[in-house]
Amino acid sequence: MELKKIALNDVHESLGAKMVPFAGYNMPVRYSSDLEEHNTVRNAVGIFDVSHMGEFMVKGPQALDLIQRITTNDASKLTPGKIQYSCFPNEEGGIVDDLLVYCMAENEYMLVVNASNIDKDWAWANKYNTEGAELENISDEMSLFAVQGPKTVEALQSLTSVDLGSMAYYTFEKGEFAGVPDVILSATGYTGAGGFEIYVKNEDAKKVFDAIMEAGKEHGIKPIGLGARDTLRLEMGFCLYGNDINDSTSPLEAGLGWITKFDKEFVNAENLKEQKVAGVQRKLVGFEMLEKAIPRAHYEIVNAEGEQIGEVTSGTMSPSLGKGIGLGYVQTDYSKPGTEVFIRVRNKDMKGQIVKPPFVKK
């Protein structure tokens, strides 16, 4: 299959980005080095182009009923301007995808889904849309910039009259930004460094991107690739679909019980309710290395006797902490923070311990 290109593909190439295939798109993985870009976001401000993400509009009197049916969280709690983290549960107890639900107005929502799952999620939403909610896939029309880091408000405030500093986490406002009307400014992010996600139409993407780069120049803004995005999200213990959660991991195993609300009916609710009562056999945990080693996905997690008790799903050398950290599933008996575990790195068992994410405290 031919790789899709985001609207600013040529801009990133001109900025010297190393482009790689990711989720069916040609994406910038780095511009300088992962370490430099990671530290830029932690200490100043960086801009990610994550326009590969998918956006679905759900409208009409049946919109909320559909969202309630296909997601685990309780979207009835949302009011216009609020955002919710949620997931689509499948019929077998796993996760179709994790997503953000934006309440745009009464009877109008936007679902933001992972790039690798756009087609799968679209089919899933349509499968359960039996009552006639109005669905529109606008993924190919939209660009999305994540501007992240402690200096984000200072870097962006001159571009809009929206008071960015007063926006609460997981809220959004629609307003003029960089001279472009109806831009969605969202106080979310995937880095734990603070910041905003900015949704614009493709035809306005270059104007907005250039304005952000210019306004952020005095604050040290740099373009950031997917490499640093991964280490930043991992330091916060945020799940990555396809690594830490997938079609065979239940939200309860993945520590997403807080977005799984059993006071409403949703796909496979009964089976998940039974799993909650019975207790899960394995849990997604965070761990840090106590010896010098870098954990990687699919490495075995073993106990002191060398018996396998789980598997690493994501791992890296934390740039902020200078030690190996990771996420993985372990048998529930080994999931308590402080528990000693070992990561099998090239046939050598290296000592670590279970810790409760985030690894890097805000």
Feature table: binding site: 197
Terminal CA-to-CA distance of the chain, rounded, Å?
A: 41
CA distance linking residue 181 with residue 185, whole number of Å: 11
d(CA 352, CA 354): 7
Contact (CB, 8 A) for 169 and 149: no
**3 state SS of 85:** strand
Binding-site residues for substrate sit at 197
> Is 182 in contact with 173 (CB distance < 8 Å)?
no
d(CA 219, CA 156): 10
Residues 186 and 199: beta-carbon distance below 8 Å:
yes
Structure token pair of residue 350: 């290296």
Question: Is residue 36 helix, strand or coil?
Answer: helix
**Angle in degrees, CA 332, 334, 336, rounded to 5:** 90
CB atoms within 10 A of CB 341: 23
User: Is-contact 287 325, C-beta < 8 A?
Assistant: yes
The rounded distance, in Å, linking the Cα atoms of 230 and 212 is 22
